[in-house]
Amino acid sequence: MIRAVLLDMDGVLVDSEPFILKAAMMMFEELGFTVHPADFAPFVGSGENRYIGGVAEQHGIKIDIEQVKARTYDIYDEIIVGNLRPLPGVWEFLDRCLDRSLASAVATSADERKLVANLDAIGLSVGRFNTCVNGLEVTHRKPHPEIYVTAAARLGVEPRNCLVVEDAVNGVEAARRAGCKCVALTTSFPADKLARADWVVDNLAMVPDEALDW
């Protein structure tokens, strides 16, 4: 029986990838280095330490990850103001969960600072959810199930009674390994790549009732 919904953030609630990419590129430019959008592609969804650090490694750039990450976030905070929007169906989906008395959690590979900034920018808040788990609170990244097992535990719910909402192949695999059911959104990957999910839809507005009523 479903008791809780665990939501990824990027690609589910918001699409912040273009903005963190721009902020990271601007940060490297301030340091005197030219990097390219394609350099970041292998590290999308792996958390900002790897997202920035992986590109630095590729180019042989010596960095203090905490320092450059903080500067990247400073830039990011500025450029998302008035520009970041919730993805289709976010508010309606959260209301559907509330109507069913389902607990909710955000479980994201992003740092807490980005989590809070993104939710604030789209008119949500951390307090809108029963709990939030960020990438700095877990040891293993998706497709490891740790982040979803952790979120379920904080809610006091067994993973088998949770629905995960994801947009990435690794995220779907993490949900499956955790023992959760999963809705996958085609925000970031085509439907055929997300076939291991229980339901595959284009956005939160299209999640079927059966995904919330089992």
Catalytic residues: 8, 10
- Burial label for 190, CB within 10 Å (0-12, 13-18, 19+), is exposed
Residues of 13-34 as b/e, b for ≥16 C-beta within 10 angstroms?
bbbbbebbbbbbbebbeeeeee
Indicate the residue type of 158: E
Q: Taking each helix axis as running N to C, give the angle between helix 146-155 and helix 169-178, from 0 to 180 degrees, rounded to the nearest 10.
A: 50
Q: Which 3 state secondary structure label does DSSP give 16? A: coil
Sign of CA dihedral 196, 202, 204, 205: negative
Closest CA to 87 of 173, 209, 206, 210: 206
CA distance 86 to 118: 9
User: To which H or E segment does residue 103 belong?
Assistant: strand 103-107
CA distance 204 to 206: 5
